[in-house]
Amino acid sequence: MKDTPTYRIMGIDPGTNYMGYGVLEVEGRALRSVVLGDIDLHTMSDPYRKLRYIFDRVSKLVDDYAPREVALESPFFGANVQSMLKLGRAQGVAIAAALNRDREVFEYAPSRIKQAITGSGSASKEQVAAIVKSMLKIDYMPRRLDATDGMAVALCHYFTARTPIDTAMGSSRVKGLGGGKKAAKGSSSWEAFIKQNPEREIK
């Protein structure tokens, strides 16, 4: 009997004050939260020191938890151009850290992540956190919801890509703002997951 392959996905919710992250372990259809947390940046006034800190911390997280793939929330377009530029830099440095460790990187739009987790692209952070906690049987609340947002990105990538084995079998990936990978017929998102795992549905 062959062993069930186990692998990890790191999800990152980029931010300039707090950068949330979560590492999801996948073994067959079983999902487990390995770590939830956030990178605290709010006391750093020097923007370049902040970027260096993001690079170092993301690099260490990849080294410590050995994810096979890293998924990030893509920047959203807002009215404040300066805030968008700062967020884009923070995300870019996190991407560079993952690439520097030879990890594949994927991006997902915020609405796509919320849709994959809750079924609604306009869900609140609290709604996302509640479903992430229930789905992974997390019995504590992280210090900040940035952490559950990071795990939500990892789950979104799992629902969309299913497993890295799909890639070896020829599934095509679309990297960029749209999100990760073309979903195979009947494979992606919350609805398919619930059909395959009815015990996880929240009544």
Q: Long-range contacts made by residues 126-129, C-beta under 8 angstroms, separation at least 24?
A: 128/152
Q: How far apart are CA 162 and CA 187, in angstroms?
A: 7
Q: How far apart are CA 151 and CA 20, in angstroms?
A: 8
- Residue 166 known to be catalytic: no
Give the rounded distance of the alpha carbon of 203 from its chain centre: 25
Given 25, 38, 146, 149, the catalytic residue: 146
Q: 30-40 and 18-27: which strand pairing? A: antiparallel
Given 25, 38, 69, 73, the catalytic residue: 73
- Residue 13 known to be catalytic: yes
For residue 158, give Cα distances in angstroms to 48, 161, 176.
33, 5, 16
- Residue 27 known to be catalytic: no
Q: Give the residue numbers annotated as catalytic, written as ranges.
A: 13, 73, 146
